């Protein structure tokens, strides 16, 4: 069985998900707990494989921080939301959420998404990707094609020599591209001083898939 928990500040959502799973036989997903905030949930030390996380909680917490806290605690995170706020979606994905499932979708779709995330897959529909890409209010760094290639490899966990080898360029060229990339992000008020920061920026800009970087 895949154990699942729901973090949502609406009790009706938590109870409704529990009832929906119970009334949908033939699947391997079971709901074990729910909470209104991430700290409340973590205090309980709940044993669960996947956490369904709402984007907007009453405590005003940042989806990026929430996703990171849950992942650090050993959970896999699936955003479960009406998903109408693209900025918050970007934040959750940058924090490591493995996908997005809309509350308006049939319960069968939600169950399939939970199962996929539990297996280590990324679950983001083309509709969600299109919404993120089409967000005109988001300030992009306008990276060039080669800069995007360098960032994609570096943010995925490859070291400078490996990036250079894969792209058939010198290590100094890779370092220079990374320097330019950091400057461009700083210029749009999205600093990326560390490799983890670059990983987050890459996810936010759709340059690499929202999965854990290679160690």
pTM, to two decimals: 0.69
Residue 211 has pLDDT above 50, yes or no: no
Q: Are 7 and 51 in contact (CB under 8 A)?
A: yes
- Tell me what the mean pLDDT of segment 99-107 comes to: 91
Q: 168: which DSSP letter?
A: T
Read off the pLDDT band of 113 (50, 70, 90). Answer: very high
pLDDT of residue 209: 53
Tens-digit pLDDT profile for residues 148-189: 999 999 988 899 999 999 999 999 999 999 999 999 999 888
User: What percentage of the chain reaches a pLDDT higher than 70?
Assistant: 95
- Tell me what the mean pLDDT of segment 83-99 comes to: 86
For the domain spanning 145-204, the CATH number is 1.10.10.10
Q: Where are the domains of the chain?
A: 2-133, 145-204
Q: CB under 8 Å to 200, separation ≥6 — which residues?
A: 64, 94, 95, 192
Residue 214 has pLDDT above 90, yes or no: no
pLDDT mean across residues, the chain: 88
Enter the tokens of residue 134: 């089409």
Read off the pLDDT band of 137 (50, 70, 90). Answer: low
* Residue 72 CB-density burial (10 A; 0-12 exposed, 13-18 middle, 19+ buried): exposed
Which carries the bigger pLDDT value, residue 126 or residue 70? 70
Q: Where are the alpha helices (DSSP H) in the chain?
A: 11-22, 38-44, 63-72, 86-94, 107-118, 126-133, 145-155, 160-167, 171-187, 195-204
Q: Are 77 and 48 in contact (CB under 8 A)?
A: no
Cα separation of 90 and 82, whole Å?
A: 14
Which carries the bigger pLDDT value, residue 206 or residue 147? 147
Architecture of domain 2-133: 3-Layer(aba) Sandwich (3.40)
């Amino acid at each position: 069985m895949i154990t699942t928990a729901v973090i949502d500040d609406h009790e009706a959502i938590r109870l409704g998900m529990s009832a929906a799973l119970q009334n949908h036989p033939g699947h391997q997903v079971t709901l074990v707990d729910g909470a209104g905030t991430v700290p409340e949930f973590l205090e309980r030390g709940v044993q669960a494989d996947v956490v369904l996380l709402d984007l907007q909680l009453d405590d005003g917490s940042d989806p990026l921080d929430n996703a990171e806290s849950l992942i650090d605690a050993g959970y896999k995170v699936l955003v479960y939301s009406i998903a109408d706020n693209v900025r918050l979606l970007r934040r959750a994905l940058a924090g490591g959420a493995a996908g997005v499932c809309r509350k308006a979708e049939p319960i069968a779709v939600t169950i399939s998404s939970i199962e996929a995330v539990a297996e280590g897959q990324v679950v983001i529909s083309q509709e969600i990707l299109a919404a993120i890409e089409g967000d005109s209010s988001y300030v992009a760094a306008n990276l060039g094609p080669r800069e995007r290639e360098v960032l994609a490899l570096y943010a995925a966990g490859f070291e400078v020599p490996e990036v250079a080898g894969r792209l058939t360029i010198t290590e100094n060229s890779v370092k220079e591209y990374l320097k330019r990339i950091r400057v461009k992000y700083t210029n749009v008020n999205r600093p990326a001083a560390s490799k983890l920061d670059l990983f987050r920026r890459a996810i936010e800009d759709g340059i690499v898939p929202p999965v854990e970087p290679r160690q």
